[in-house]
Structure 1
Amino acid sequence: MRSLERHRDVGAYTLGVLDEADAFRFEDHLTRCPLCALRLSELGSATRQLTLYRRATPGPVHPFAVPGPRLLDHLLAVLAAHRRAGRRRLLYGVAAAALVGAGTLSGAALLTGGGDPAVRLDATDERSGVRARVTAAGEPWGSTVELEVRDGAGPRVCRLVAVGRDGTEQTVTSWRVAGHDARSTTVHGGAALRPDQIARYEVRTAAGERLVTLRAR
């Protein structure tokens, strides 16, 4: 395959649809092509969005459901925010290095370009006996969420729902409680709401029964 065609493989490689031989050849090309390395980095944000969509989409939804007309605009906005965040991190790093070189960093707070500090919430529902801990971190596109939950009343399917301060609801992730097992389960997901836009998280059964509520402070 010609080098020009290799450039076109970056999208397929990012999505993991190249066969083993083509993936090996593209990785070899990637070590010598800074342009493809840059494109691979830029496509990472869109790939994460597709992964979150797959995790958050209920099983009955067809994987090739027609997207809404604003999906492309949303993905482009996410990509632009990712690029802006990368530029801010670079500028903060340069500024910090300059301060160190001048010897003026004594006692000063170092600026970092990361997102908002992680939010951690804990709650136990005495009625259901379910205990949960949510850790949410801000991202340019919303929040990444980790849930640790202890539920000994399976088997059942549960989901984590983020309820916005405006009353909107988004399913963050879902999982199956295998049986009467009191061990903790950890699952991950994401929401388009930022942590400060979320009023509470609710662990619910697939039938809608509320098992435990974690309220933002």
Structure 2
Amino acid sequence: MRSLERHRDVAAYALGVLNEAEAFRFEDHLMECPRCAAEVTEFGPVTRQLMLYRRSTPRFVHPMAQPGPQLLNRLLESVATRHRARRRRTLYAVAASVVFAFAGPTAAIMASDDGGGSARIVQATDARSGVWAQVTTEDELYGSQVELKVKDAAGPRACHLVAVGRDGSEETVTSWHAADHDAREDTMTGATAMHSDEIVRYEVRTSGGEHLVTLKPR
């Protein structure tokens, strides 16, 4: 595959339509091409919207069918719920800072009251690989919205965040390209069809299958 053709495969790779061999060749190219790595990241929002459409469309509906008003309503409701939850967490954070300021060295645990939709945070560092990662998961109607923060100084390499379900199923949440020997924190967002209580652990892996770090929600 020529270099120009590899550049053109960015969208196909981000949307997961390349076969295994083509995806493997593209990931080799991705490790040496910052332009394609940036474009793959830019496709994240599009991929998540297509996932929403896929999960909200019955299997018997033709794939080219247009989404109806109910899908739009569910999307708007999901966005509104997430925004309300974020505003609540901001208010609780401000309130907690006031408590800490006046109460001295005390600890407070505060959660949002949006019906169990509060974010769950887990972080871990792997002693062997040296990779640190933090995953923030928030339940949505379709599954979970996931934010990943990672520090990996052993790049360049293409990596994935994989959610492992209690039934053993796996789903790639997001992918990215670790920069060349750059230990600064990277932040990515992704989504999974599994809810947080269905996920037993998260794993950060390279495109070649090497395990970098495991995060286990409590």
TM-score (norm 1): 0.53
Letter matched to residue 202 of structure 1: E
CA distance in 1, matches of 2:73, 2:169: 25
Deviations 1:109-155 (A, max 9, x none): xx955661100001000000000000011100111111000000011
Query: 2:212 corresponds to which residue?
Result: 211
Query: 1:25 corresponds to which residue?
Result: none
Residues 1:51 and 2:47 are matched in the alignment: yes
Gaps of 5+ in 1: 1-47, 57-66, 88-110
- Residues 84 and 157 (structure 1 numbering): CA distance in 2 closer, same or farther, change over 3 Å? closer
CA distance in 2, matches of 1:188, 1:123: 18
Deviations 1:17-46 (A, max 9, x none): xxxxxxxxxxxxxxxxxxxxxxxxxxxxxx
Residues 1:182 and 2:178 are matched in the alignment: no
TM-score (norm 2): 0.53
CA distance in 1, matches of 2:207, 2:49: 18
Using the TM superposition, give the Cα deviation of residue 50 of structure 1 relative to its aligned residue in structure 2, in angstroms.
Answer: 4.8
Query: 2:98 corresponds to which residue?
Result: none
Using the TM superposition, give the Cα deviation of residue 181 of structure 1 relative to its aligned residue in structure 2, in angstroms.
Answer: 1.0
CA distance in 1, matches of 2:187, 2:116: 23
CA distance in 2, matches of 1:68, 1:84: 20
Letter matched to residue 51 of structure 1: T
- Residues 139 and 180 (structure 1 numbering): CA distance in 2 closer, same or farther, change over 3 Å? same
* Higher RCO, Cα 8 Å, sep 6+: 2
Aligned length: 137
Query: Does the residue aligned with 2:47 lie in a helix, a strand or coil?
Result: helix
CA distance in 1, matches of 2:215, 2:144: 16
Query: 1:3 corresponds to which residue?
Result: none
Using the TM superposition, give the Cα deviation of residue 198 of structure 1 relative to its aligned residue in structure 2, in angstroms.
Answer: 0.7
Where does 1:139-158 land on structure 2 (aligned, <5 Å)?
139-158=140-159
Deviations 1:140-198 (A, max 9, x none): 01111110000000110001000111111110000001201111111111101111111
Using the TM superposition, give the Cα deviation of residue 68 of structure 1 relative to its aligned residue in structure 2, in angstroms.
Answer: 9.8
Please tell me whether the aligned partners of residues 52 and 190 of structure 1 are also in contact (alpha carbons under 8 angstroms): yes
Q: Once superposed, what is the RMSD of the aligned Cα atoms? A: 3.6
CA distance in 1, matches of 2:217, 2:145: 15
Using the TM superposition, give the Cα deviation of residue 51 of structure 1 relative to its aligned residue in structure 2, in angstroms.
Answer: 3.4
Identity of aligned residues (%): 48
CA distance in 2, matches of 1:136, 1:121: 9
